Structures are given as C-alpha cells and as structure tokens.
C-alpha cells in the first residue's frame, strides 16, 4: 500500500498554502490529575477559519529544515519540525523536507497554532512522502508531540477527554465568534502548576451535549488563574463582554480559550461580529478577529489510502 501511495505522489515535490486552523476551547474543565502529573481534561474543540499557512517542499537528502524564522521559537523546538522528524523516524522514510510557515494565529494565546502547524505537517508529509498512513496512526504520533495535536488531525468539532486525546465528533451548526488577543503571552505550564487551579470539576456527559445541551454552559477552569496573574487578559475579557452586550450578543458567553491569553465570544452573525469589532477598536485591548467555525478541517477529506 505504501508503494502504491508513493507512485501516486511521485510527481509531487511540494505542497503550498496548506491551512493550519486555530481552535477554540468552548469550555475547558480540569476533572482530575493522573499519577504521572498530567491533568485530566474535558473540552470541546471548535476549529475556526483563522489559519496559519504551511509550505512543504520535498528533499531527497533526508534533511528537515525550517526555512523562515519564527520569533521566539527556535527551529529545534518548533512542533512542526519535530513532527516532520518524528514521522520520518517512525516510518523509516529517507526523504526530507523544507518547511515554511506563515504565522497568522497569535502565539501564546491558547488558539493552538503550534499544534495545528504540527498536525498539518503530519498530514502534508504523509502525502508528500507517499507514506499512506491512516488518520489514527497520525493521531497517535501527534499525541507524542502535544495533547492538542490529535484534535487537529481528527479534523472536526470534537468532545475531548483524557489529556485531550479521546475524541468524539460533535456536529454543530456554523457559528461566528469574535476573538481578542491581548498583548501578552501566557505560559501554559505555569497555569497548570498554580495552586489556585481548580482540578476537580464534575465531568459532563457526551449524551447531554449530543442532545443539544449548550456547550456554553461550561466554563474554563484556567480562566480565574490567568485573569488574576495577567490583568490584560481580565481587561480584554471585560471589554469583550461589554461590547457583546452592547451589540446585541450575550456577553455572559465570553470566556478564555485554552490557557489564554485569547478570549472569545460566540455571536449571532457577521454583522454583530463587525459591530463588536468596531466597539473594541476604540480600546487598546489587543488584536481583534472575527472568525467562523469550520465544519471540517480543510484537509480532512484527503485520502489516507
């Protein structure tokens, strides 16, 4: 099967403008802690149309190189580079790749940009190198890079448990969101290490969500810790809630995504999103994005034969 896949891709030497979408955690509950220290989580991942762009070119010498600098991220630490090297090592592939990434997703904001880039590299090189690995194998490799990576390979709105790797599809109608990225970066490890973090939220049931229970009835257990330690996040959240209420949305639904620093609010439609953006533009709260949910990851329909 791998040889057949390699023949189909023999004429392809590059893949450009591969999308790596951002995610929102519609809620994020910490439900416990494993003996190894990893936190047990419960969340819904929503993919949105704010995307990094990944460019891949095949190399025949086996080298894996990142071709453009990313401020604050050394190539050796970049999840995208690590994803390529892990894929090559696990499959015995002797090909290499040049990797370039156009960053559009705010870094250190809880939107999963680095994890999404890594997932897109796994998906892209699986095709470019003609490996023919199935989605589940790629998800397992992604988990070795980070807990969010499998969700992007999974490729649709998902209810997640465990450390974030147990995923079940959760269909939903399209939704608009306004995202505010305050001018701070929040280190995830310090948030999870905080003694103030709630670690025993009562788990929800997937059956309730499947029957239409609102995903916005949950909360983000990390939000109080981050808002206390990073006042700019608290300011952005308060401003977003006020602007949403003033524009006809429900500001009570605004919350932080992931471990921050970005905050978001679901809104009824694009005109309301535009109104909120206009109101927030008068304040120095950060970069503002209006985005729409994605029914599927743009690469999810790729063949895995």
Catalytic residues, by residue number, are 23, 148
Alpha carbon 218 to its chain centroid, in Å, reads 19
Q: Which long-range contacts (CB under 8 A, 24 or more apart) does 241-249 make?
A: 241/265, 243/178, 243/276, 243/279, 243/280, 244/178, 244/276, 246/279, 247/272, 247/275, 247/276, 247/279, 248/272, 248/275, 249/276
- What does DSSP say about strands 96-102 and 39-59: parallel, antiparallel, or unpaired? antiparallel
Beta pairing class for 158-161 and 96-102: unpaired
Q: 164 and 43 in contact (C-beta within 8 Å)?
A: yes
Nearest in space to 215 (alpha carbons), one of 183, 273, 184, 255: 255
């Amino acid at each position: 099967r791998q040889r057949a896949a390699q023949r189909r891709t023999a004429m392809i030497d590059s893949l450009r403008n591969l999308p790596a979408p951002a995610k929102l955690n519609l809620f994020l509950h910490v439900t416990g802690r494993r003996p190894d220290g990893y936190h047990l989580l419960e969340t819904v991942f929503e993919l949105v149309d704010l995307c990094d762009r990944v460019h891949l070119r095949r190399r025949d010498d086996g080298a894996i190189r990142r071709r453009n600098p990313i401020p604050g991220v050394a190539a050796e630490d970049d999840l995208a580079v690590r994803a390529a090297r892990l894929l090559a090592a696990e499959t015995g592939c002797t090909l290499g790749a040049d990797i370039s990434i156009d960053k559009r997703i705010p870094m250190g904001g809880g939107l999963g940009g680095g994890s999404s880039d890594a997932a897109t590299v796994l998906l892209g090189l699986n095709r470019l190198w003609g490996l023919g690995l199935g989605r589940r194998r790629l998800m397992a490799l992604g988990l070795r890079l980070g807990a969010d990576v499998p969700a992007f390979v999974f490729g649709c709105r998902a209810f997640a448990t465990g450390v974030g790797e147990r995923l079940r599809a959760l269909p939903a109608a399209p939704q608009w969101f306004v995202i505010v990225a305050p001018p701070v970066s929040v280190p995830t490890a310090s948030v999870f290490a905080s003694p103030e973090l709630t670690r025993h939220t009562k788990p929800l049931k997937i059956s309730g969500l499947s029957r239409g229970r609102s995903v916005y009835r949950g909360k983000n257990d990390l939000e109080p810790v981050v808002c206390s330690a990073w006042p700019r996040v608290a300011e952005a959240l308060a401003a977003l809630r006020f602007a949403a209420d003033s524009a006809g949305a429900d500001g009570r639904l605004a919350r932080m995504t992931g471990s921050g620093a970005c905050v978001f609010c679901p809104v009824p439609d694009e005109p309301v999103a535009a109104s909120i953006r206009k109101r927030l533009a008068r304040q120095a709260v950060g970069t503002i994005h209006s985005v729409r949910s994605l029914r599927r990851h743009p690469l999810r329909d790729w063949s895995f034969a």
